[in-house]
Amino acid sequence: MIVFPNCKINLGLHITAKRPDGYHDIETIFYPVPFTDLLEVIPRDSEPDCALEQTGLSVAGTPEQNLCVKAYRLLKKDFPSLPPITIYLHKQIPSGAGLGGGSADGAFMLQLLANRFSLPVTKNDVERYSLALGSDCPFFIENKPVLAIGRGEKMRTIAVDLTGWHLALLLPGLHVSTKEAFDNCMPRTPSIGLEEIIQKPISAWRNELTNQFEETVFLHYPELARYKRSLYEQGAVYASMSGTGSTIFGLFSTAPDAMRLREECGCETRILQL
């Protein structure tokens, strides 16, 4: 059984408060994007009980730190009869890019195991397990646009539809530390909430829909600011950094010239139709 964990972009991101537990409260909109990894599970007859075979882009850390393996461990604890498996993961979504690729892999792994081995779990159960993997993991269970607050784990569906728009993803291959991004940002209450801004025409987003992390991340990685300018110069109606990562994306009413963008920016470019 093969599944295709997709990524997401953030439409706006505000850091609203520093919490007593050391985390931050945020406000953002997660929007699903059809750019995927490939994930397969095959039962095995011998030890180890969970083996990971990974191809494609590299991922830092040991196999035991991979969210797919962690997802298996979570379910194995409650369902000891879960058989030994080999996980085949082909990475196309880069890590540290603000696209939630690792979170998607973990969430899809939970669903894959539940379906493949007919585990007696509900969708709410799977969402609860996914939250143990990461704050944004539950998003990938529903995979619909949501307004996320709190640490990003409190979500509710929001009416935003980008169907028909062309999405350019600029993937420079930089790994931006989420911790450093948060440490360098000053929390503040936005004058206008994202739910109000997102209802305006996309042409108005350029001046109102902001990712607060750009203020500090662009200081450390000025090339990312240049990529954003390039997207606007090529005709993007809206452009932004996604999450705390290095991906810069642009929304176009007609498909942009991928080769020209790639030559100007000097990084991997993906053009997708939403």
Task: Enumerate the active-site residues.
Answer: 8, 136
Q: What tokens were used for 224?
A: 């990312």
Question: Phi, psi at residue 148, to the nearest 5°?
Answer: -115, 130
Long-range contacts of 190-193 (CB under 8 A, 24+ apart): 190/14, 190/16, 190/27, 193/27
**Residue the block writes with tokens 């290095």:** 246
Question: Phi, psi at residue 260, to the nearest 5°?
Answer: -65, -45
Order the strands of the 166-171 sheet from edge to edge: 238-241, 248-252, 166-171, 268-273
**Helix or strand or coil: residue 258?**
helix
Order the strands of the 24-36 sheet from edge to edge: 6-18, 24-36, 146-150, 154-157
State the first-to-last Cα distance of the chain, in angstroms, to the nearest integer.
26
Burial grade of 146 (CB within 10 A; 0-12, 13-18, 19 or more): buried
Cβ atoms 252, 165 nearer than 8 A = yes
Which one, of 27, 44, 76, lies nearest residue 209 by Cα? 27
Cβ atoms 149, 26 nearer than 8 A = yes
DSSP structure class, residue 107: H
**Cα separation, 97 vs 10, whole angstroms:** 11
